[in-house]
Amino acid sequence: MQTFTIHIRDHHSGNEYSVPVPADHYILESIEQQGVRLPFACRNGACTTCAVRVLSGELHQPEAMGLSQELQKQGYALLCVSYPQSDLVVETQDEDEVYELQFGRYFGKGKVRAGLPLDEE
């Protein structure tokens, strides 16, 4: 099986890591097995805790339901459900910022009640 080098810039700690990851393994799981600890929560591709920005390279994330196609096209990925398809350079992101990019348009207008923001009722 082909193996790719994943270079991770962890903006939380300021550390950088380079680790080999087989093409048929999730990136997060593989790097953890090599002693690298990065933020994660659900491990199911449903939240934004393990979000990264892909600076170079290609990956495949068919189960990343926590990121819209629009954000994926902008280079965001979830390491918990991503497979490398080339050598990669990625940078961890602030979970709240990615969550806001993903869901802010829904919650930016106030509390939702009966499908409408309170200020529209």
Work out how many domains the chain is built from and give that number.
1
* Predicted TM-score of the model (pTM): 0.82
Q: Could you report the per-residue pLDDT of 11-68, keeping only the tens digit for each?
A: 888 999 999 999 999 999 999 999 999 989 989 998 889 999 999 999 999 999 889 9
Here the CATH number for the domain that contains residue 25 is 3.10.20.30
Cα 75 to Cα 58: distance, rounded to the nearest angstrom? 9
Domain that holds residue 97: 3-108
Is 119 inside any structural domain? no
Which two structure tokens, joined as six digits, stand for 2? 């082909």
Q: Is 121 exposed, middle or buried (0-12, 13-18, 19+ CB in 10 A)?
A: exposed
pLDDT band at 98 (very low <50, low <70, confident <90, very high): confident
